[in-house]
Chain A
Amino acid sequence: MVKPTQGAPRRRIAPQVIPQVITGLEPGPFHARIAALNHQHAWTNWMGFASPAVLDSVEFEYFAIRNQTTLFDISPMCKYAIEGPDAERVVNRLVTRDIGRLSPGRVTYAIWCDEDGQVIDDGTIFRLADDCFRLCCQEPQLAWLSDIAWGFDVTIRDVSREIAALSLQGPTSAALLRSLGVKAIEALKPFGIASIRIGECEVDVSRTGFTGDLGYELWMRPPDAARVWDRLMAAGDNWGLRAIGYQAVEMARIEAGFLLPKIDFLSARSALRTNRPSTPFELGLDAMVDLAKPHFNGRRALLRLAGERPARKLFAVEIERDKPAANALVYHRRKREVGMITSALWSPTCKRNIAYAWLDAPFGQTGTDDLWVEIYLQREIRWERRMARCRIVDKPFFVHQRRRQTPPANM
């Protein structure tokens, strides 16, 4: 916001200002700070907000996640407050895991399904108090939450624009917060929440993230956003702090074994073709489904599906040689098409060629050998086709012991 300088002509203000929404990308709460660092001028669209794709170099931004500390604006995430006497019942009706076991001040990763047991979205659920939850996810859920909460004594609010958020991830992230005098991080375990101050600003910190390593997420009021950013950046020099873009975050996300809607799976609420959504079992998220829980949305269907072999399943795979296999088709015995790759990456940390693959049954489930991916290589404007062997491996590809260590290590 530019303030009028002294002596500038005073603009007459129209008696009635008719609103008009922004077309194109909207600046988020950290936009001015990020824009100043965005030397590549590369923006992507995240829920209509301008989110940096890369600021300087994907490579160095990625290594900052694995070696130092990084700052990434996660404000565009959808955030919902679920509050009231029936809040726990509503959240339990929503998600497939038992939320009664989540204590106040703790966070959990959860998925939720439609009545056919097909996954709608995944996200993190913050239990801020006994009767106060916050849901963070990738796609708008207000209508669905309202349906779930109908008849319960609970209020559901979209607080996406009321909360600005930063992801502070990397081995030196605890050291950085320590240097700012944040005491609470010493006792803060993974998936814990604490209220802290950064400068004069009140900030909620959760020990969460999608990197498989030590890291935090900071939640604040949008008017404080720039001040918190400045404080962190000022303290960050000693700890190699680097603002990063989405592409580097995406690399760490794949290594850490997290799935992304619209990339690895399609929400049951947005799929046009009725056979596109997937069940938690197909996504390999069986551990997040608590069928012993009395009732939740999709339970009846999931009880039935639990006894059946999934028609297709998502697997973590490792592919020979070094070329990423994004969007590749998977073949059995190099001939029969049996699936496709979603996310793919040459992992610079693991030094492995990794990917997620959808495989039609029985492939991956019982028949695990002789699987190949078809990779197209562009070599100086000539395309070459390579069949590369791939094998099923365990997720995640990368997780560091620093992630769990409490109190957290300094680097």
Chain B
Amino acid sequence: MAGSSKFDAIVVGAGHNGLIAACFLARAGLKVLAVEKAPHVGGAAVSLSLTPGWTYSNCSYVCSLLRPEIVRALELPKFGLQVIPYESGATFNSRGEYFAYFSDHDALRRELTRHSPHDADNYEQYARAVMRQCRLIKPLLMRTAPDPVRLRPRDISELLYILRRFHDLGPREMAETIRFWTMSIAEYLDQFFETPIVKAHLAGSGIIGTGLGPYSPGTAYVLLHHYMGEVDGAIGAWGFARGGMGAITQALAASFAASGGEIRTGSGLDRFVVRNGRVTGVVLENGDTFEARTVVSGMDVRRTFIEHTEEGDLPAAFVKAVKRYRFRGSSGKLNIALDGMPTFTGAPKDARFLKGDLHFLDDMPEIERAYDDWKAGRWSASPYVDFLIPTQIDPTMAPPGKHYATVFVQYAPYHLAEGEWDDANREAFAETVIAKISRHSPDFRKLIVHKEVRSPLDIERETGLSEGNIFQGELTFDQLLFNRPVPGYAQYRSPIRGLYMCGSATHPGGGVMGAPGANAAREILSDLGRRIDMGAAA
């Protein structure tokens, strides 16, 4: 075993949040080790080649939320990260019609007018309402949530900060904000729009990755979660990481290494070593033992505290709260290597809107019915798909003339009511999705060269995300801010001294945002009497 077994800090799980925390700790001068169960770093932000010539973004597939402060402070562009915005998207319905989303404001207005002049006009009001909510919540992302029970001076000042921002909205917008945070995405969109396909297109962001339907309260917030990112200041814009989402974690690993950090892959955690209520190190599955007085878990709370910590080292109430924390995996994923660019029967020749997210959907009730299947323990017979062909923009992921399709599928249950997630069911699930796409793209099936099919169970097995929940736990109001992951422990510390959490299960949640990792590092360094270095991004 090379090197010393003693470190200032150990990060368990080298996903993007773990690596971000590791980077900031290493930059503060700590001797840091990151350990990872998989043979590669990245967690759910990986680019893997499963068939020669193609690279897949196997799990997460688009980038918007990654905080620019982090990108800048960790010099990720210097270490190879490029994020390229994509410019459009579309929803095709079963009547052969489509709605295209253009980032060109005038084109979008014309397209909305084509469906409904009222929707075109109301879109401005909708966009403004969502933007106002983004402006309210964005400053909270890179801050530690206050603890409203403990009310130490910092909690009081943070609470006042939130209250002041809220109050500045004025009475009408305060009421709107409460409505927004508690409403369903379907009812929210119904206030603005009349055209089913327009609402269907916009509703997707409210349900992606969540075990809720478009008519479930709380889904309007999930939409906001998908809107509060940016690409170079263009709020709400989404882009591709050049080379796939693994480019983010590869850049993080390079930044970490440049700061003197050490990474060990290929062996997962066996257990945290705890003595007298304090963590003293970790034992890996291969028996390697490392000591550190600071240990940071990038894993979700179920893995961290139920699987890898002795229950006796934790307060019973905390264990109970962790056990009731909801994951509810609801998403599957297909990665497909294509022999060429598929055509879409609903799209005009030379369509200019195929470079972004594509959906095949009539209306919001269709998503709700897809959700009904999930509740019954079946994958959706007519699933909601978020379908993108990044190789129209990113030349690095497939040979010239060939393409890569990433197909995110909502809904797929973690537990099937009948049978298991075996090869036959996985193939049947893929067939449901491919059949749906083929109804709109007849040549799609015959272009398939290779495919990777991932059920929520596969996602859990490969990334460690419990139940395959892509956000490390539902993004509902009961599990947000000072309730994320559990009340009283929303400030990245755990009941065990020296053991911290930095995954998406902590505030402000998932989506390859990186804020949990950076916030955790700030709290850890503060406990060590040091300051996080955000550089010019501060």
Contact A19 B352 (CB under 8 A): no
Q: B168 to chain A: closest CB distance in Å?
A: 7
CB distance from A140 to the nearest CB of B (A): 5
Question: Hey, which chain B residues are within 8 Å of A8, CB to CB?
Answer: none
> Would A140 and B128 count as touching, CB distance under 8 A?
no
| A146–B347 CA distance with the chains assembled, in angstroms | 32
Contact flags A247-284 to B (C-beta < 8 A → 1, else 0): 00000000000000000000001101010000000000
- The docked-state distance in angstroms from the alpha carbon of A141 to that of B120 is 10
Asked if B128 and A272 make an inter-chain contact with CB atoms under 8 angstroms apart, the answer reads yes
Q: Which of B118, B169, B350 contacts A274 (CB 8 A)?
A: B169
Question: Is A269 a contact partner of B110 (Cβ separation < 8 A)?
Answer: no
**Are B124 and A270 touching (Cβ within 8 A)?**
yes
A270-B128, A272-B128 given as contacts; is B122 within 8 A of A22 (CB)? no
Flag whether A25 is at the interface (Cβ < 8 A). Answer: yes
With A18-B348, A19-B348, A20-B348 already in contact, the answer to whether A143 and B122 are too (CB < 8 A) is yes
For the complex formed, measure the closest distance between the CB of A275 and the CB atoms of chain B, giving whole angstroms: 8
Contact A20 B122 (CB under 8 A): no
Distance (Å) between the CB of A22 and the closest chain B CB? 7
Q: Are A23 and B102 in contact (CB under 8 A)?
A: yes
In the complex, which of the residues A16, A19, A47, A140 contacts B114, with contact meaning CB atoms closer than 8 Å? A19
Minimal beta-carbon separation of B194 from chain A (angstroms): 11
| Minimum C-beta distance from A138 to chain B (A) | 13
Task: List the A side residues contacting B107 at CB < 8 Å.
Answer: 21-24, 48
The smallest C-beta distance from B183 to any residue of chain A, in angstroms, reads 20
Which residues does chain A contribute within 8 Å of B118, judged by CB atoms? 142-143, 146
The answer to whether A26 has its CB under 8 Å from any CB of chain B is yes
Residues of B within 8 A of A274 (CB): 168-170, 173
Q: Which residues of B contact A21 (CB under 8 A)?
A: 100, 102, 107, 110-111, 114
Q: With A18-B347, A274-B170 in contact, is A26–B110 under 8 Å at CB?
A: yes
Nearest-neighbour CB distance to chain B for A344, whole angstroms, equals 27
Interface size class of A (residues with CB under 8 A): 20 to 34
Is there a chain B Cβ closer than 8 Å to A349's Cβ? Answer: no
If over half of B's interface residues share one DSSP class (helix, strand or loop), that class is named, otherwise mixed; here it is helix
B376 interfacial contact with A, CB 8 Å: no
CB-defined contacts of A146 to chain B, threshold 8 Å:
118
Asked if residues A141 and B121 are in contact (CB atoms below 8 Å), the reply is yes
Q: A143 is contacted by which of B125, B346, B348 (Cβ under 8 Å)?
A: B125
Return the CB mask of B465-504 against A: 1 if under 8 Å, else 0.
0000000000000000000000000000000000000000
> Which residue of A16, A17, A24, A270 contacts B104 across the interface (Cβ within 8 Å)?
A24
Using Cβ atoms and an 8 Å threshold, which residues of chain A touch B135? 272
Shortest beta-carbon distance, A114 to chain B, in Å? 10
Contact of A48 among B109, B121, B168, B170 (CB under 8 A): B109
> Given the complex of chains A and B, what is the CA–CA distance between A84 and B392 in angstroms?
52
Residue pair A140, B124 in contact (C-beta under 8 Å): yes
Total B residues in contact with A, Cβ cutoff 8 Å: 34
Determine whether B428 belongs to the interface, using a CB cutoff of 8 Å to chain A: no
Q: Is A45 an interface residue (CB 8 A)?
A: yes
Q: What residues on A are CB-neighbors of B349 within 8 Å? A: 18
Q: Assuming the A-B contacts A45-B106, A48-B109, A146-B118, are A272 and B352 also in contact, with contact meaning beta carbons closer than 8 angstroms in the complex?
A: no
Binary interface encoding of chain A residues 72-89 relative to chain B, with 1 for a CB under 8 A from any of its CBs, else 0: 000000000000000000
Q: B251 → chain A, closest Cβ, in Å?
A: 33
Using Cβ atoms and an 8 Å threshold, which residues of chain A touch B110? 21-22, 26, 48
Within the assembled complex, what's the spacing in Å between the Cα atoms of A158 and B118? Answer: 10
How many angstroms between the C-alpha atoms of A183 and B390 in the bound complex? 64
In the complex formed, the residue of A with least CB distance to B105 is A48
Contacts known (A143-B122, A274-B168); A48 close to B106, Cβ less than 8 A? yes
Complex Cα spacing A142 to B110, Å: 14
Q: A269-B124, A272-B132, A272-B135 are in contact. Are A20 and B104 (CB under 8 A)?
A: no
Closest to B97 in A: A18
The verdict on B381 contacting chain A, using a C-beta distance below 8 Å, is no
Whether B341 is near chain A, meaning CB under 8 Å from some CB there, is: no
A24 neighbours in B (Cβ, 8 Å): 104, 106-107
Q: Which of A16, A146, A272 has the most CB of B within 10 A?
A: A272
The one of B120, B122, B168, B346 that contacts A18, using a Cβ cutoff of 8 Å: B346
Inter-subunit contact B106/A25 (CB<8 Å): yes
Q: Tell me, rounded to whole Å, the shortest Cβ–Cβ distance linking B437 to chain A.
A: 18
Whole-angstrom CA separation of A57 from B110 in the bound complex: 32
Residue in chain A with minimal CB distance to B173 = A274
Q: How far is the CB of B350 from chain A (nearest CB, A)?
A: 8
Q: Are B352 and A20 in contact (CB under 8 A)?
A: yes
| Nearest residue, chain B, Cβ from A145 | B121
Give A25 to B110 CA distance when docked, in angstroms. Answer: 11
Shortest B230–chain A CB gap in Å is 15
Decide if B416 is an interface residue (CB 8 Å cutoff): no
Nearest A residue to B104, CB-CB: A23
**B120 pairs with A140, CB closer than 8 A:** yes
CB neighbours (8 Å) of B352 from chain A are: 20, 23
B361 CB to nearest A CB, Å: 18
Q: Inside 8 A of A143's CB, which chain B residues have their CB?
A: 118, 121-122, 125
* Closest beta carbon of chain A to B228's beta carbon, Å: 14
Q: Taking CB as reference atom, which chain B residue is nearest A18?
A: B348
Q: How far is B172's CA from A143's CA once the two chains are assembled, in angstroms?
A: 19
In the complex, what distance in Å separates the CA atom of A20 from the CA atom of B350?
Answer: 9
Q: Does B151 count as interface, using CB distance less than 8 angstroms?
A: no
Q: In residues 135-169 of chain A, which contact B (Cβ within 8 Å)? A: 140-144, 146, 158
In the complex, what's the smallest C-beta–C-beta distance from B213 to chain A, in angstroms? 28
B346 cross-chain contacts in A, Cβ below 8 A: 18
Quick one: CB contact mask for B150-181 with A, threshold 8 Å, 1 for yes? 00000000000000000011101100000000
- Residues of chain B within 8 A (CB-CB) of A140 are 109, 120-121, 124
> Which residues, 106 to 142 on A, are CB-close (under 8 Å) to B?
116, 140-142
Tell me the nearest residue of chain A to B353, going by C-beta.
A20
In Å, the complex CA distance between A142 and B125 comes to: 12
Task: Tell me the minimal C-beta distance from B131 to chain A in angstroms.
Answer: 6
CB-CB under 8 A from B351, the residues of chain A are 20
- How far apart are A300's CB and chain B's nearest CB, in angstroms? 14
Residues of B429-456 whose CB lies within 8 A of A? none
Contact with A along B345-372 (1 / 0, CB 8 A): 0111111100000000000000000000
- Is the CB of B117 closer than 8 A to any CB of chain A? yes
Q: How far is the CA of A23 from the CA of B106 in the complex (A)?
A: 7
CA distance A36 to B506 in the complex (A): 61
Contact with A along B502-513 (1 / 0, CB 8 A): 000000000000
- Could you say which residues of chain A place their CB within 8 Å of the CB of B120? 140, 142
A270 to B102, CA, bound (A): 20
Instruction: Give the distance in Å from the alpha carbon of A113 to the alpha carbon of B117 in the complex.
Output: 22
Chain B's closest residue to A17 (CB) is B348
Q: How many angstroms from the CA of A43 to the CA of B411 in the assembled complex?
A: 48
How far is A47 from B120 in the complex, measured between Cα atoms in Å? 13
Give the 6 A-B CB pairs with smallest separation, nearest first.
A48-B106, A143-B121, A18-B348, A21-B110, A23-B107, A20-B348
Can you spell out 14 A-B residue pairs with CB atoms less than 8 angstroms apart? A17-B348, A18-B347, A18-B349, A19-B348, A20-B100, A21-B111, A22-B107, A26-B110, A48-B107, A142-B120, A142-B121, A144-B121, A269-B128, A272-B128
Q: Beyond the given A21-B102, A142-B117, A143-B125, please list 6 additional residue pairs across the A-B interface where CB-CB is below 8 A.
A: A47-B106, A48-B106, A142-B120, A143-B122, A158-B117, A272-B128
